[in-house]
């Protein structure tokens, strides 16, 4: 399974850097790779649900989950054309502000309509401290 984000990323490993004082809106597209034809086709997300958890890496002071995004809580939205393999992750500035600056790790799971559970990709997320509070007051 391959994943594409804007900007482009490599296959099933995603490395991103974000500030913790702004909305994080990230589109993705997942595709399947057919070795026989050397072609990629969009991974059909029809009937699927998704979940991504981000936490501090193992052996750090805290391995607590700092982000739990899913189709159930609305932070992950599968495109209306689910067969396109496209979805968008949206994390509000208020939620990002709760994530301390640091390097985090996680993964994105796809829960298929057939009961299967697949890893779409693993993620390394570097969060930088934002200088400006995400509020006008």
Residue with tokens 């805290």: 62
pLDDT tens sequence across 106-130: 999 999 999 999 999 999 999 999 9
Of the candidates 19, 10, 42, 64, the residue with the CA atom closest to the CA atom of residue 110: 42
Among 10-19, 25-34, 45-54, 93-102, whose mean pLDDT is lowest? 10-19
Higher pLDDT, 66 or 135: 66
CATH of 2-128, one of 2.60.40.10, 3.30.1360.120, 3.10.20.30, 3.40.50.300: 2.60.40.10
DSSP state of 96: H
Checking DSSP bridges between strand 49-55 and strand 39-42, what pairing results, if any?
unpaired
Query: If pLDDT is split at 50, 70 and 90, which confidence band does 7 have?
Result: very low
The whole-number average pLDDT for the span 66-89 is: 96
pLDDT of residue 77: 98
């Amino acid at each position: 399974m391959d994943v594409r984000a804007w900007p482009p990323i490599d296959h099933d490993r995603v490395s991103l850097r974000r500030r913790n004082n702004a909305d994080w809106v990230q589109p993705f597209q997942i595709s399947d790779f057919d070795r026989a034809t050397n072609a990629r086709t969009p991974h059909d997300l029809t009937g699927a649900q998704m979940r991504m958890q981000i936490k501090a890496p193992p052996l750090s002071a805290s391995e607590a989950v700092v982000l739990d995004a899913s189709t159930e809580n609305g932070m992950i939205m599968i495109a209306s054309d689910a067969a396109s393999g496209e979805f968008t992750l949206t994390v509000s500035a208020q939620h990002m502000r709760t994530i301390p600056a640091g390097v985090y790790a996680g993964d994105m799971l796809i829960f298929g309509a057939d009961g299967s559970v697949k890893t779409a990709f693993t993620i390394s997320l570097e969060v930088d401290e934002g200088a400006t509070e995400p509020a006008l007051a």
